[in-house]
Structure 1
Amino acid sequence: MPLLRAMNDQRRFAVIILAAGQGTRMRSDTHKVLHPIASRPLLLHLLDSVDALGADERVVVVGKGREQVEAAIEGRGVATAIQAEQKGTGHAVQQAQTALAGYDGPVVILYGDTPFVETATLRRMLDRLDGEDGPGIVVLASSPADPLNYGRVILGEGDRIAKMVEYKDATEEERAVRLCNSGMMAVRSGDLFRWLSQVSNDNAAGEYYLPDIVNIAAAEGREAVVIEGDPYETAGVNSRAELAHLELEWQRRRRETALHEGATLIDPESVWFAYDTKLGRDVTVEPHVVFGPGVEIADGAAIHAFSHIEGAIVGAKASIGPFARIRPGTRLGERTKVGNFVELKKADVAEGAKVNHLSYVGDADVGARANIGAGTITCNYDGYGKYRTTIGVGTFIGSNTALVAPVKIGDGAIVGAGSVITRDVEADSLAVERNEQKGIAGWARRFRERMTRKAAE
């Protein structure tokens, strides 16, 4: 696959994403950039923003655990470069030089563990780099409430950078500055790799720091300027605690968006969204609802408390829960009703059908206006394969029924409670499968008398 791609009428720019860090503080066998927020790996969140802006080139620099990263980005047309030894961010960026051979446009340098820089911010960085005064470097910075151990940006006149310094190399006066370097920057390709070749590792860590190119550029009379972003955009993940805090902030923002767009969240803080959850107008979500990936809820639907929905399409004015589990591959039509302690999987439930309580319906097609009684299950698995059940329009399935797939219940049929159905049922017929009920007069009284005598012995 050729690395260079046409961009129609969009500006050309490249992106280098650094993802070679070992992530030791995560204490995990999963690569740091693949830990999820809102059910999506950090790196893929970032790539989504990059793709939305239309990056011409995308190179991910990988190191230890690169097989995991390469598998995660397979099929996205992203090139990789390998940093075999951890020698700092400047050294990591240098590893992308071969992948960008022949490219001479702007380069934006990002970090795989800093997932939420917005497309609009990336555009601002590129616009500033292309500005009339032509700065050599545009640095993204922010002023977090707690600057911690971030490198500091010391400003000169206006947005010009006088100095950038890593925290461990900074003086106490410099550490008091609140403007922090995110590590993200935009610079032209030719300048970038020429300046990187001059970076030294004469510092406290013995590493090649990417920010050092600011001072090298200044020595050539090329200024660096700063773009300030929201601290949320520059927040990175280096530990499980930071992952959890960033998840909370992502969820808070997503809840605000849902409310603004016309959904009702009864207890917003107890509702958890996935990255791609879609809610229509006038959707009501009760407390303690979890949305996994791939969920679309149409207008006017109600999701009751303690329900979990993943990979499902829910029609207008449908009702789910409480305590319902809707698994991937399920489609619910308009005005369907799925009640408490019901589990659906790969079930297509047509308009107006009801599965009210205590049922499992998997690998099934349920016709319009069908009623599935309490305790009904579709027996879809025989230990080797999965089989489908078809329940017709207007059928009535009595409580505590087992439908042994593959089986078809015809339109308008009624299945008596407690039946085990193993053969197709004709339309508009009654199917009952149970032993004949027997009654033995006086048996219960005689049983109690016998047991009472035995207990007295």
Structure 2
Amino acid sequence: MSDKVLWPTLAVILAAGQGTRMRSQVPKVLHPVGNRPLLGHVLAAVEAAGVEQVAVVVGAGGQAVAQYLEQAAPAARVFTQHRQLGTAHALLAAREALQAHTQGCVLVLFGDSPLIGAQTLERLRRALIEGAAVAVAGFRSETPGPYGRLLVQDGHLRAIREARDASAQELLVDFCNGGVMGLRADNCLWLLERIGNRNAQNEFYLTDAVVVANGAGLPVTAVEVEEDDVLGVNDREQLHAAERIFQQRRRRAAMLSGVSLVAADTVFFSADTQLAADVCIEPCVVFGPGVSVAGGVRVEAFSRLENTRLEPASTHSVAD
């Protein structure tokens, strides 16, 4: 019997943030990378990881996000966090889904992390299957300054220390909190209900699940992932950074799959672009949504394509 049968998985995507630093009327998680909303990338990673159940927590006034989910993920359950009282509070907004999911794994993701991949989700899930009650994604950074530190001892994650609260020795740690977390379903609600709000913000922080689990003698582990995988988008500069990394990944994947890019840095892809092997793309080409290109096609320089399929009958030029 497979792990997925024995360890069914619920992904809860937290998408209630107001995104004030984006300075936009558009909800933060609906801003695009590769012409796909940030939230859409997270949903795609969840689907690619074979996660069976999905819940999304939106904020008060999150009708636009809910409408997007009706189209992009109609099977997802949508819950509302009516007051912004921290990440643990946001997760508890999906209490009904958590109560129904009593066995297996709960993965807690963020709707503004568009670069997360199925491999990261599987690694967190594997840590839970192998015995952890809580698994936290972490990354190594040469400039860890503002990030929370993961304090690991004898292979166990003992604490997550925010940079402002860290000692001088703890600030030397380069293993940083990536935010994404996995919890065993049979412990999840028990841990969440024991998280308090005795802090400067009077909020309920999901990171405190580490302290609660350790205090109860439950095993807690850190799973090392790539920093880009857990990159969050909070402002336009970070949105630009995410777009740059996304495009770099897609260019490399295209070339590894047999596509020729004459000037790779000048070609821009959408998340749903489909290219067959032996496609050749000349400089300064932009793929809008809904484009697929069959093998043998040459896309001429300065083309912009959208909602089309190109067959190998002729070279495509910007005038086509």
Normalised to the residue count of structure 1, the TM-score between the two structures is: 0.66
What is the alpha-carbon distance in structure 1 between the residues aligned to residue 4 and residue 231 of structure 2? Answer: 33
Q: Which amino acid aligns with 2:51?
A: A
Q: Does 1:206 align with 2:205?
A: no
Q: Does 1:168 align with 2:167?
A: no
* Aligned partners of 2:33 and 2:114 also within 8 Å: no
Moved more, 204-213 or 81-90: 204-213
* Aligned partners of 1:43 and 1:115 also within 8 Å: yes
Q: Which amino acid aligns with 2:88?
A: G
Q: Does 1:117 align with 2:116?
A: yes
Q: Does 1:222 align with 2:205?
A: no
Q: Does 1:25 align with 2:21?
A: yes
Q: Which amino acid aligns with 1:245?
A: A
Deviations 1:116-144 (Å, cap 9, x if unpaired)? 2211221121121111xx22111111113
The CA deviation at 1:177 is 1.6
Q: Does 1:253 align with 2:249?
A: yes
* Aligned partners of 1:291 and 1:308 also within 8 Å: yes
Q: Does 1:157 align with 2:131?
A: no
2:297 maps to which of 273, 280, 301: 301
SS in 1 for 2:289: coil
* Aligned partners of 1:22 and 1:64 also within 8 Å: no
What is the alpha-carbon distance in structure 2 between the residues aligned to residue 38 and residue 277 of structure 1? Answer: 9
Q: Which runs of 5+ in 1 are unaligned?
A: 1-6, 325-337, 339-457
The CA deviation at 1:207 is 1.6
What is the alpha-carbon distance in structure 2 between the residues aligned to residue 11 and residue 203 of structure 1? Answer: 35
* Aligned partners of 1:293 and 1:310 also within 8 Å: yes
Identical positions, percent: 37
Q: Which amino acid aligns with 1:111?
A: F
What is the alpha-carbon distance in structure 2 between the residues aligned to residue 180 and residue 170 of structure 1? Answer: 12
* Aligned partners of 2:195 and 2:209 also within 8 Å: yes
The CA deviation at 1:18 is 0.5
1:307-456 correspondence runs (5 A) = 307-321=303-317, 323-324=318-319, 338=320
- The list of structure 1 runs, each at least 4 consecutive aligned residues, that deviate by more than 6 angstroms after superposition, is none
* Aligned partners of 2:113 and 2:233 also within 8 Å: yes
Partner of 1:427: none
* Aligned partners of 1:21 and 1:64 also within 8 Å: no
1:192 maps to which of 170, 184, 188: 188
Q: Which amino acid aligns with 1:231?
A: E
- Whichever structure has more helix as a proportion of its residues is 2
2:229 maps to which of 223, 230, 233: 233
Q: Which amino acid aligns with 1:185?
A: M
What is the alpha-carbon distance in structure 2 between the residues aligned to residue 271 and residue 11 of structure 1? Answer: 41
Partner of 1:37: 33
Deviations 1:71-117 (Å, cap 9, x if unpaired)? 11104211111111111111111111123333202201110011222
* Aligned partners of 1:62 and 1:69 also within 8 Å: yes
* Aligned partners of 2:55 and 2:97 also within 8 Å: yes
SS in 2 for 1:206: coil
What is the alpha-carbon distance in structure 2 between the residues aligned to residue 288 and residue 40 of structure 1? Answer: 21
What is the alpha-carbon distance in structure 2 between the residues aligned to residue 276 and residue 62 of structure 1? Answer: 25
SS in 2 for 1:150: coil
What is the alpha-carbon distance in structure 1 between the residues aligned to residue 128 and residue 233 of structure 2? Answer: 27
Instruction: Summarize the Cα distance change of 1:243–1:102 in structure 2 as closer, same or farther, 3 Å threshold.
Output: same
* Aligned partners of 1:153 and 1:165 also within 8 Å: yes
The CA deviation at 1:316 is 1.1
Q: Report the structure number with the largest CA radius of gyration.
A: 1
* Aligned partners of 1:10 and 1:54 also within 8 Å: no
SS in 2 for 1:146: coil
Identify the structure with bigger relative contact order (alpha carbons < 8 Å, sequence gap 6+): 2
Deviations 1:161-181 (Å, cap 9, x if unpaired)? 121122333233323321111
Q: Does 1:92 align with 2:82?
A: no
Normalised to the residue count of structure 2, the TM-score between the two structures is: 0.93
Count of matched residue pairs: 315
Question: How well do the aligned residues superpose, as a CA RMSD in angstroms?
Answer: 1.7
* Aligned partners of 2:109 and 2:180 also within 8 Å: yes
Q: Which runs of 5+ in 2 are unaligned?
A: none
What is the alpha-carbon distance in structure 1 between the residues aligned to residue 303 and residue 26 of structure 2? Answer: 28
* Aligned partners of 1:298 and 1:317 also within 8 Å: no
What is the alpha-carbon distance in structure 2 between the residues aligned to residue 117 and residue 209 of structure 1? Answer: 21
* Aligned partners of 1:31 and 1:65 also within 8 Å: no
Q: Which amino acid aligns with 1:316?
A: P
The CA deviation at 1:186 is 1.0
The CA deviation at 1:148 is 4.5
Partner of 2:276: 280
The CA deviation at 1:236 is 0.6
Q: Which amino acid aligns with 2:150?
A: V
